[in-house]
Copies of this chain bind each other. A is one copy, B any other.
Amino acid sequence: MVGLSTAWRLAGRGLRVAVADPAPGSGASHAAAGMLAPVSEVSYTEEPLLRLGLDSLARWPAFAAELSDESGLGLDLRRDGTLDVAFGADDLALLGELGAFMEKLGLRVERLTGRECRRIEPMLAPSVRGGLLAPEDSWVDPRRVVRALLAALDGRGVPVLRERAAELTAAGDRAAGVRLADGRTLAAEHVVLATGAWAGPGGVTRGGLAGVPPGVLPPVRPVKGQIMRLRSPEPLLGHCVRGTVHGSPVYLVPRGDGELVLGATQEELAFDTRVTAGGLWELLRDARELVPGITELEVAETIAGLRPGTPDNLPLIGRTALPGLLLAAGHHRGGVLLAPLTAETVAGLVAGDGPALPSCSPTRFENVEETAP
């Protein structure tokens, strides 16, 4: 989604754009639940990521409206808030502290008793003791967004070449385009690498882009996530619901058509996208504790995707040390949320009239010049 969004915003600037992707939207976007939840996902150490998320969340309504208009397709953008719930007294105390931290950061959040939680979400387990509602957190259907982006790109005449970009081509000390896996070449003044978990040096032998000089690509590691899509005759929930069960976070994201997404495991297992017995078991165990009624729902799909993780959990957005090569990658759990910010930042940098995001600079890591490819 990050790559297609960037292409769309670049095309919107009147630039000539081409996309090379053997299967657009089939990576992390295809598995993602689509939470746009910077508030409820805030953590004590990651205020810079929070600020990026809030910035991008503020861009989502206009981004979605424009994309829907242009493509004629709905995105199922929902702005109904995330409810983060607690079970035991300890959980409740932790959630209370988190609420205080959020308020200190100036975030809007509402503290609810267990009864108040069940009043707004009647399917919650009776054992829920309390919760925090982040009323401005939102969510979207990433697969609909991908379809809309492809339609919008098509409408603008942007070619989406169903082929892998195999190798960067250079002219002097500047990126000059890419060679596709089928041998064709695309010449370009700017190359934007948006290959998610495959964007780092470790992805090159796995189908990532070859030919980038050593030290230019920062490390990116794949963080596997398994999710389940359940099907309900009618929506079971009105908010995104999340909680920490058995020490691991679980969330449930309801869609307008009755789909309910359960996510997600976080596994550091290299380029492994197998759905496992243990992954499904963990999701079902934890989600059942939050919302016992999921038991009766049909399992529509199980899938695993790879999030692109970076050493500091911040994405890689902007110019690399190689002139002409930009990155739009490394978004870890935030690719959907951060797509508008990323796309608009990269478009501004390429057009030459927009600011960089220093916290996301691909050149920020020490020794990145020395990283072996």
Residues of A within 8 A of B (CB): 228, 230, 262, 274-278, 280-281, 284-285, 287-288, 294-299, 302
Residues from chain B with Cβ under 8 Å of A228 in the complex: 277
Determine the distance from Cα of A274 to Cα of B300 in the docked complex, in whole angstroms: 9
Determine the distance from Cα of A297 to Cα of B228 in the docked complex, in whole angstroms: 17
Residues from chain B with Cβ under 8 Å of A288 in the complex: 277-278, 281
Of all chain B residues, the one with the shortest Cβ separation from A231 is: B274
What are 19 A-B pairs at a CB distance below 8 A? A228-B277, A230-B277, A262-B277, A274-B298, A274-B299, A275-B299, A276-B298, A277-B284, A277-B288, A277-B297, A277-B298, A277-B299, A278-B296, A280-B280, A280-B299, A281-B284, A281-B285, A281-B295, A302-B302
Determine the distance from Cα of A276 to Cα of B296 in the docked complex, in whole angstroms: 6
Determine the distance from Cα of A7 to Cα of B285 in the docked complex, in whole angstroms: 45
Determine the distance from Cα of A117 to Cα of B277 in the docked complex, in whole angstroms: 24
**In whole Å, how far is A311's beta carbon from the nearest beta carbon of chain B?**
27
From B262, B278, B296, B299, give the contact of A302 (CB < 8 A).
B299
Residues from chain B with Cβ under 8 Å of A298 in the complex: 274-277
From B274, B275, B281, B302, give the contact of A281 (CB < 8 A).
B281
**In whole Å, how far is A192's beta carbon from the nearest beta carbon of chain B?**
34
Q: Knowing that A262-B277, A278-B294 touch, tell me 14 more A-B residue pairs with CB under 8 angstroms.
A: A230-B277, A274-B299, A275-B298, A275-B299, A277-B288, A277-B294, A277-B295, A278-B296, A280-B284, A280-B299, A281-B285, A281-B288, A285-B285, A299-B302
